[in-house]
Amino acid sequence: MTPLEARAADCTATPTPACHLAEGKKAIKSDPKRAAAEFLASYKLDERTDTLELYAAALENDQQYALAAETWDRIIKYRDSELTAAKEQKKGAGVINAAQRRVTAAAQVVVKLEGKTAKVRIKLNPGPPPKVTRDGTEVDVTKEVWVKSGSDELVFTFADGSSEKVPVNLKAGENVRIDAPLPKKVAPPKVDPPKVNPVNPTEKPIEANTDPEPKDTSMRPPNEEPLPPVSSEPPPTKTKQRVGIALVGGGVILAGIATTFGVLASNDFDDAKAAGCNDDGECAFGSPGIRLAERSNDRATFSLITGIGAGALIVTGVTLYMLGRKETKRHNNMSLHVGSSSAAFAWRF
What distance in Å separates the CA atoms of residue 36 and residue 62, rounded to the nearest whole number? Answer: 8
On whether the CB atoms of residues 59 and 89 are closer than 8 A, the answer is no
Given a cut of 80, is residue 18 above it in pLDDT?
A: yes
On whether the CB atoms of residues 82 and 53 are closer than 8 A, the answer is no
Q: List, in order, residues 6 or more apart from 322 with CB less than 8 Å away.
A: 244
pLDDT one-digit tens code per residue, 211-254: 555 555 555 555 555 555 555 555 566 787 788 799 888 888 98
pLDDT one-digit tens code per residue, 328-342: 665 555 554 555 555
Q: State which H helix or E strand residue 70 sits in.
A: helix 65-88
Question: Which long-range CB contacts under 8 A does 69-72 form with residues at least 24 apart?
Answer: 69/110, 69/113, 69/114, 69/117, 69/146, 70/139, 70/146, 72/106, 72/109, 72/110, 72/113
- What CATH class does 1-113 carry? mainly alpha
Q: Is the pTM of this model over 0.85?
A: no
What distance in Å separates the CA atoms of residue 181 and residue 114, rounded to the nearest whole number? Answer: 26
State phi, psi for 155 to the nearest 5 degrees. -115, 125
Grade residue 318 by pLDDT with cuts at 50, 70 and 90: confident
